[in-house]
């Protein structure tokens, strides 16, 4: 029997809560959470911003 590997998703963005400038961060968070709840391994990559 062949066991399938769990689905893994790489998401890229420039904002994610709590550091958001508009609606994209909130939408990205919603998508990432929904995928994770469905059993998908999600990695979200953001740029590093210095203060």
CA dist 47 → 12, 15, 33, 40, 42 (Å): 9, 8, 20, 23, 17
Higher pLDDT, 4 or 13: 13
Whether 33 shows a pLDDT value over 80: the answer reads yes
- Looking at residue 16, its pLDDT comes to 83
Mean pLDDT of the 8-36 span = 91
Chain mean pLDDT for the chain: 88
Higher pLDDT, 19 or 11: 11
């Amino acid at each position: 029997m062949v066991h399938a590997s769990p689905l893994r998703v790489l998401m890229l963005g420039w904002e994610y809560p709590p550091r958001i400038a508009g609606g994209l961060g909130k939408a990205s968070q919603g998508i990432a959470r929904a995928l994770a709840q469905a059993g998908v391994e999600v990695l979200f990559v953001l740029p590093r911003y210095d203060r």
